[in-house]
Amino acid sequence: MCGIVGYVGTAAGEDAVDVVLDGLSSLEYRGYDSAGLAVPTPSMTVSKAAGELSALEGIVSRRELAGEATGIGHTRWSTHGAPSDANAHPHCDERERVAVVHNGIIENYQRLRDDLVESGVAFRSETDTEVVPHLIGRYLDRGAGPEEAFRLAIDQLEGSYAIAAVFEGSETVYAARRDSPLVVGLGETGTYLASDVPAFVEHTDRVCYLEDGDFARLSADGVVVTDGEGHRVDRPTETIAWDPEDAEKSGYDHYMLKEIHEQPTSLRQCLRGRIDELEGTVDLEELDDLDHTGPIQFVACGTSYHAAMFGAERLRTAGVSAQAFLASEYASDRVPVDESTLVIGVTQSGETADTLRALREADRAGATTLAVTNTVGSSAARECDHVLYIRAGPEIGVAATKTFASQQLALALLAFELGDDPTRAELEALRDIPGQVQTILETTNARSVAEAFVDADAYFFIGRGYHYPVALEGALKMKEITYRHAEGFAAGELKHGPLALVTENTPVFAIVTGDGETARKTIGNVKEVEARDAPVVTITDGESDATRYADHVLEIPAIDDLGASVLANVQLQLVAYWVANLLGRSIDKPRNLAKSVTVE
Amino acid sequence: MPIRSAVVLAAGEGARLRPLTKHRPKPMLPAATKPILEHVFDALVDAGITEITVVVGYGRTHVQSHFGSTYRDAALEYVVQDKQLGSGHALLAAEPDVSEPRLVLNGDQLVAQRIVEDVLAAYDDGDDAIATLGLIRHEDVDEYGGVICDGDGRVTEIVEHPGDDRTYQLNAGVYAFEPELFEYLRGPDPQLNEYSLVDGIANAITAGETVRGVTSDGVWIDATYPWDLLDVSEALLERADGVESTVSPDARIHESATIVEPVVISADCVVGPGSVVGPNAVLGDNVTVGANAVVEHSVVDADTRVGSGATLVDCVTGRNVRVGTGSTVVGGPGDVRVGNRVHENEQLGALLADRVRDGGGVTYAPGTIVGSDAVLRAGATVRGTIDHETEVQ
């Protein structure tokens, strides 16, 4: 979790404090319970504060640090120790010769800490990270130079890390990575380091991704990357195609609302060039050399897991054996996997630690791996045998919205690539989705539904088939940004237990589309809750008589079931957004959550 | 110092463009597939403007989602005018952002780069002017704002809809202004009365301020009524500095289809076998033209499906319209009824607003207007004006 930024500027460069603070604010979505920075010249200055980045901005002495061109910074999302000034990064050795920021978890930190304490080191925080500067300090004491001390300390670590360090009086940033992302930016007026590209994309679009086991030494004129033995390795320089301004709110109150409204555009991008209605085919160019006939397993977390459930169901409909697993449970589930299996990791960031771990296990077992991700150059994209990009564009709001819709559409395309060719009606439906999402955005009454139920005790969501994962996603969105209790259920499961929770203060959102058997069964479940006096909100295309049993209706245009699940989800996103808005929640940065979860 | 920033007024609905503006503002209506506002931004960026403050209001999410935070490297800032109380009030919404001279333009009229440059040059030459106005000679000046200048280019009169027979130049809605102009924009009671930029300029003139006018021969086009979108697209396709005839590489055109230039065929469009598209047909994103369909002299907006064998001549569609198999828009001229007024002999085949659905085999009499979300049953013959969300058997 957390975000790291580093910078070494040339004489023409900016103040390190400005670059680091700007970078941190672009990374705030990764974690934000505390933040800090270190500038090692002319003497080591460390500033850190619990709370949002503004707290740090308030205490940094820009005037004293004016003209200094080297720095590192960190936004923290706690894994070890509560959010506090002391636990915020950077951490230093006792004599403040070195300052360290770290993303990840050091698994053997307790042992290292015990050793250091025994040798007389006094720790100032409860973090795992603090062992690193003390280890470096110990090697400095023994006469090692900065780089050697840094390497020797890193060699002691087990677990996952992206680490950056600066030494007093030195205009150099040292970095190392294992299982945690780190990318170097090569600019005209300096060299940048960050967990993710947005931190420096306003300064340069030339980047170089570090790989596991890499060490990097950044100076004003570039970077030297070496392996564990100190041998130089070449990491290609890539040019990234991000528009930095995409990551601004452009007049919306929240990134989440902006991203909800971007869905027609991002869905068009997802489909562009991939379907050919004249030929009646779907062609995913990047998967041309993927020829798979065996079973398929999805691994994913959170919202991506709901997309994976949807993808697995779509593939089963196409006659392919497919199952979705929670990435964090994949190992302990002891899922049978071998060379005949295709394991698909669905991860927006491409850095989700649980998903990466499951993919690596599958790879070790000989399976073919495929990453379905939004992030070019991410760990998942680089490590998997194949990658399918969902092309949603940058998503900043912690609660995933447009990326879920694009995951759904990309997985629908994948099913046609791996299963039967689409019918004309299916292709037309896919092409209709972006415009119909636009229709919903223009006509939705989600806000008035939210107003009606802002004081509810709990929110329940039910659906069948493709609408079941959407019911789960609708509930997750509600939990994430409103902090209210919400649950999604397969509609038929309601009567097997959860119905006991249903009262007149628990609205039930039922997704009912078409007028087939599935719709009729869901309507039966709607009647069950109606009989318990629960308010009913139906998300429906009006093809069935579901509205008869509804207190409120969220209308979607008529389309096939697959498309309807994409559309229904947009209405649920908007309901969650407006409930959270009415409650005054921190919508883009909900408490305790981070955008990209890079710890297991 | 040359002006590098502009305020663009894009908050109004443009009610005379109904029913196309039911769900989005006039600046977002298509002119040869690109929103009118995008043409305005192009003129500004080409004239060297690098910062644009956009005053948004009605349907503002359309503007914000379409353009985001930058347009061609120019930074976009959005300012919200919650109630649309006139162009003067709209400009005041941007006041906190304005501390030095700026340009201000209407976001719902097409202006050539030339007019913007002429105003900027005249501003640079000017001395004491609180505002410098772009003017053009135009025969329909009585429908817009008229301006009279003295021999030195000083504006002596500015009026809306001039009715007398003096010679007025048309106010092209492109102004360079000093921040002091804001004082004159505060009307007697702007919260109760619509208060326009023209009123503010007139106030300044009355108070003895210098307002200059600069006559430009750059192009200025306004779509007053929905069917004007046909002329606007045609004019843009005709002009060298307008819009180039293009077929997007991301469109799929069947090899047996006939494309008669000039046309604009946007990304994700599908043009089926045996169909004929053009001349002067402009298709927005993701439009389908079915097998053997004919689309000429028409503006077809995004996500619209033209069924097999359908014919669209002089037709304007909104987004997501479904023209069924074999339906026919025979073309203008026809009489068009808007409210209580009948516009005779307009070159309009039919206007189908957003999400109109026809079941196929529908015949549209010349001048027909169909409101959004209307449903027309198969085989119907329709004429006149059909309200939104109606079902026609």
**CATH classification (class only), B5-221:** alpha beta
User: pLDDT tens digit string along B348-369?
Assistant: 999 999 999 999 999 999 999 9
- Using a CB-CB cut-off of 8 Å, the residues of chain A touching B65 are 250, 258, 261-262, 264-265
Q: Do the Cβ atoms of B64 and A261 come within 8 Å?
A: yes
Cβ–Cβ contact A278 with B under 8 A? yes
Buried b (16+ CB within 10 A) or exposed e, B152-174: ebebeebeeebeeeeebbbbbbb
Q: Which two tokens stand for residue A569?
A: 């989800």
- Using a CB-CB cut-off of 8 Å, the residues of chain B touching A243 are 68, 70
Active site members of A: 2, 595
Of residues B124 and A77, the one with the higher pLDDT is B124
Q: Provide the pLDDT for residue B192.
A: 55
Q: Provide the pLDDT for residue A469.
A: 97
Nearest to B288 by CA among A570, A430, A565, A391: A430
Is domain B229-392 classified as CATH 2.160.10.10? yes
Judged by average pLDDT, the poorest of A46-60, A327-341, B83-97, B282-296 is B83-97
Ranges of H-type helices in A182-275? 255-261, 263-271
Judged by average pLDDT, the poorest of A305-319, A331-345, B189-203, B325-339 is B189-203
Nearest to B184 by CA among B56, B91, B107: B91
Helical pair A263-271 and A402-418, crossing angle rounded to 10 deg: 20
Q: Do the Cβ atoms of A278 and B76 come within 8 Å?
A: no
Q: Provide mean pLDDT across the span A210-227.
A: 92
DSSP structure string for A346-378: EESSS--HHHHHHHHHHHHTT-EEEEEES-TT-
Q: Provide the pLDDT for residue A378.
A: 84
Cβ–Cβ contact A245 with B under 8 A? yes
Q: Provide mean pLDDT across the span A127-147.
A: 93
Percentage of chain A beyond pLDDT 90 is 63
Amino acid in position A291: D
Q: Provide the pLDDT for residue A29.
A: 63
Integer Cα distance of B363 and A551 in angstroms:
40
- HSE, side-chain direction, 13 A CA sphere, residue A333: 16
Option in A251, A272, A439 nearest B78 (CB)? A251
- Quote the ipTM score: 0.87
Domains and CATH numbers, chain A: 3-246 (3.60.20.10), 248-439 (3.40.50.10490), 444-600 (3.40.50.10490)
What is the distance between the terminal CA atoms of chain A, rounded to a whole angstrom?
Answer: 9
pLDDT at A243 over 70: no
Q: What is the mean pLDDT of chain B?
A: 90
Positive or negative, the CA dihedral B160, B166, B172, B173 is negative
Question: Burial, B44: exposed, middle or buried (Cβ in 10 Å; 0-12, 13-18, 19+)?
Answer: buried
Q: Do the Cβ atoms of A250 and B78 come within 8 Å?
A: yes
User: pLDDT tens digit string along A492-532?
Assistant: 998 898 888 899 999 999 999 999 999 999 999 999 888 88
Question: What residue spans in chain B does CATH classification 2.160.10.10 cover?
Answer: 229-392
Whether residue A284 contacts residue B106, with contact meaning beta carbons closer than 8 Å, is answered with: no
Nearest to B108 by CA among B197, B17, B199, B196: B17
Helical pair A402-418 and A302-317, crossing angle rounded to 10 deg: 30
Q: Do the Cβ atoms of B65 and A265 come within 8 Å?
A: yes
Of residues A118 and A242, the one with the higher pLDDT is A118
Cβ–Cβ contact A283 with B under 8 A? no
Give the pLDDT band (50/70/90) at residue A30: low
Integer Cα distance of B364 and B349 in angstroms:
7
Integer Cα distance of A250 and A396 in angstroms:
13
The minimum CA-CA distance between A435 and chain B, rounded to whole Å, is: 6
Integer Cα distance of A366 and A381 in angstroms:
18
Of residues B151 and A77, the one with the higher pLDDT is B151
Q: What is the mean pLDDT of chain A?
A: 90
Integer Cα distance of A574 and A263 in angstroms:
12
Nearest to B132 by CA among B177, B88, B98, B198: B177
Question: What residue spans in chain B does CATH classification 3.90.550.10 cover?
Answer: 5-221
Q: Provide the pLDDT for residue A459.
A: 96
Chain centroid, CA A431 distance in Å: 27
Q: Do the Cβ atoms of B67 and A243 come within 8 Å?
A: no
Q: Provide mean pLDDT across the span A49-66.
A: 85
Cβ–Cβ contact B270 with A under 8 A? yes
A436 contact partners, CB below 8 Å, separation of at least 6: A556, A557, A559, A563, A567, B320
List for chain A the helix, strand, coil content (%; round to 5).
40, 20, 40
Whether residue B274 contacts residue B259, with contact meaning beta carbons closer than 8 Å, is answered with: no
User: pLDDT tens digit string along A305-364?
Assistant: 999 999 999 999 988 999 999 999 997 778 888 999 999 999 998 989 999 999 999 999
Q: Provide mean pLDDT across the span A104-128.
A: 90
Give the pLDDT band (50/70/90) at residue A263: very high
Mutate to test the interface with B, among A246, A258, A271, A278 (most CBs of B within 10 A): A278
Q: Provide the pLDDT for residue A25.
A: 84
Option in A250, A273, A435 nearest B69 (CB)? A250
Q: Provide mean pLDDT across the span B320-337.
A: 93
Positive or negative, the CA dihedral A122, A126, A131, A134 is negative
Chain centroid, CA B141 distance in Å: 18
Buried b (16+ CB within 10 A) or exposed e, A323-332: ebbbbbebee
User: pLDDT tens digit string along B51-97?
Assistant: 899 999 999 999 999 998 888 888 888 998 888 788 888 888 888 87
Whether residue A233 contacts residue A214, with contact meaning beta carbons closer than 8 Å, is answered with: yes
Option in A246, A264, A277 nearest B68 (CB)? A246
